Structure 1
Amino acid sequence: MTATGDSTTRHLTIQHDGVTIQVSRGGRGLPLVLCPGLNCTQADLHELIGLLRRDHDVVAFDLRGHGLSSAAERYSFDAFLGDLRAVMRELELPSAPLLVGYSLGADLAVHYAAERPDTIAGLVLIDGANPLPEPFVADVDLAEFREMARQTVEWSEDGDRARQVVLSAEEVFELGLEMDVVRAGILERYRKVDGGVRMIMSSTIAGRGGAGRAPRHNRLWRDGVERLVRQRANVSVSWLDADHRLVFTHAPDIAEIIRSAHQPGSGPAS
């Protein structure tokens, strides 16, 4: 691991599995590691990171193929989990951090916490890691989700290297399908996490439309969370009136939930 930067923000690089992971660290207070999601970079999360740094020593990073991290030969849930493991392994923090994940990053956080529960102070999961009672992407949704993947990749190619994603539209689409498989078994992972888990979830992940896929997907999203809360007493949830972009549109609300739940001496969220 190498480090550069000033006293405000340090920039680190971690060599792992043939890729270079770009990490930033800044702020003061309780340690916090922020894991982004698919097609999401540190640059995209700049508002939330800035708010969290007021109360936390925040470590953020770009997954392989995202932002300032290098491209890779393979992109899969396990490969991204390896990126998170590498970051956690290389950090030198004064105490166990709060682990925060958004979307795919939330699923990565749960899997890591199930493996190494002794290394984190608690979990905050933002609109991800949902144990859905049935697949999110049904056969009827395939064409629409493939088109959404294409549009997402085009949006990320805006000339700003810090925001770019080098995955192809087909790779993004295939990862979306893989996430249904991951979430089908994620309840078993939650059973290995004894500490506090706070979920911050969108009430209308697929938008407010009353036709098409939106009603079914919004219902599935809520059903999955309610299923989890019934089974795991250490899980609590805050719902925000937003879609899956909540991490961008409601950054102050998310930062306040994290701050109020994890003040010094407050213990894990419950």
Structure 2
Amino acid sequence: MEKLTIRRDGAAIPVTVAGDGPAAVFVPGLGGTQAQLGALFEGLRRHLRLATFDHRGHGTSSVGGPYDYPTFGADTSAVLDALGGPGSLVLIGHSMGADLLVDQAAALPAAPRGLILIDGGTPLSSSLLTPAELEGMRQAMGSEEALELQRSLAGTPHQVALSGDDIFRLQDEIDQHRRTAAERFDRIDGPITMIMSEFMAGTESDRARELNQAWRDAVDTLAASRPTITVRRVPAGHDLVATHPDEVLELIVAALAAGQ
């Protein structure tokens, strides 16, 4: 196992590389860390020479912003360049990490070695949540319970140093960015595999089922007119990379075998 540190704009970004096979990178989502990948990383390193990293303010990366989408994008680009460039890699991303890799792939003159998106990158015409639901989410992020969890993880490989307001603003930036995502998919030359959760919003209410259906519909609309996109679904929530690593691993390996 190899450890690297990429430095950009005041941040020290730790990168872990392990395994044998085609060079690949796994880009975590917002709130995701290397430590949370666990079994999925261990499984993927049997098939790939896999790199992954912690976004700034996450895990063992530097604490300190700015915590905005363009900054996370520039950090990701710096990591990919240090690993040989996005065109030389199999690109795998979860949630926000998928959005960041759609940006990277759309800017390439030719297809990357593979592009696998896990429950992210999906074009949306508007936020799935109502203003009231968004406000409730913002308040929950700033609750004493949320703050206590953040304090308990501080200084560990699982920490997320972003405040509730940081995360709320960043999620809004991601939502806005996804409104033009279809244009970026049209610029990607090559096959794309999308591994999507069936229960992104959970299963506990009629509203959750509505949101899950809206998420599925957005993916189906994207793929309907783009034969290069293959959609696979896992009966899991948005944290499927942690809760269902075996199923996700099987689908990634199948995508690679099919020419991703």
Shared fold, TM over 0.5: yes
1:267 corresponds to: 259
1:5 corresponds to: none
Contact 1:11 1:23 in 2 (8 A): yes
Moved over 2 A (4+): 116-120, 147-160
2:229 corresponds to: 235
In 2, Cα distance between equivalents of 1:30 and 1:84: 19
2:216 corresponds to: 222
1:53 corresponds to: 45
2:33 corresponds to: 41
SS in 2 for 1:232: coil
Letter in 1 for 2:235: D
Alpha-carbon offset, residue 156 of structure 1: 4.3
Letter in 2 for 1:253: E
The match for 2:161 among 122, 141, 166 is 166
2:200 corresponds to: 205
2:249 corresponds to: 255
The match for 2:185 among 190, 197, 217 is 190
Alpha-carbon offset, residue 136 of structure 1: 1.8
Contact 1:52 1:255 in 2 (8 A): yes
SS in 2 for 1:158: helix
Q: More displaced, 124-133 or 99-108?
A: 124-133
Q: Deviations over 1:212-260 (max 9, x none)?
A: x413311210111011101221111101111112111111111111112
In 1, Cα distance between equivalents of 2:183 and 2:123: 10
Instruction: Identify if the C-alpha distance between structure 1 residues 112 and 37 changes in structure 2 by more than 3 Å, giving closer, same or farther.
Output: same
Contact 2:56 2:65 in 1 (8 A): no
1:62 corresponds to: 54
Contact 1:97 1:119 in 2 (8 A): no
In 2, Cα distance between equivalents of 1:133 and 1:202: 19
Q: More displaced, 43-52 or 151-160?
A: 151-160
Alpha-carbon offset, residue 92 of structure 1: 4.0
Alpha-carbon offset, residue 144 of structure 1: 2.3
Percentage identity across paired residues of the two chains: 38
Q: TM-score when scaled to structure 1?
A: 0.89
Alpha-carbon offset, residue 154 of structure 1: 4.5
Instruction: Identify if the C-alpha distance between structure 1 residues 49 and 20 changes in structure 2 by more than 3 Å, giving closer, same or farther.
Output: same
Contact 1:137 1:180 in 2 (8 A): no
Contact 1:106 1:129 in 2 (8 A): yes
Q: Which consecutive residues of structure 2, in runs of 5 or more, have no partner in the other structure?
A: none
Letter in 2 for 1:73: G
In 2, Cα distance between equivalents of 1:154 and 1:252: 31
Alpha-carbon offset, residue 30 of structure 1: 1.3
Q: Which consecutive residues of structure 1, in runs of 5 or more, have no partner in the other structure?
A: 1-8
The match for 1:74 among 60, 63, 66 is 66
Letter in 2 for 1:197: I
Q: More displaced, 166-175 or 152-161?
A: 152-161
2:115 corresponds to: 123
Contact 1:156 1:163 in 2 (8 A): no
Contact 1:195 1:234 in 2 (8 A): yes
Alpha-carbon offset, residue 147 of structure 1: 3.5
SS in 2 for 1:43: helix
Contact 2:56 2:62 in 1 (8 A): yes
Q: TM-score when scaled to structure 2?
A: 0.93
1:90 corresponds to: 82
Letter in 2 for 1:165: V
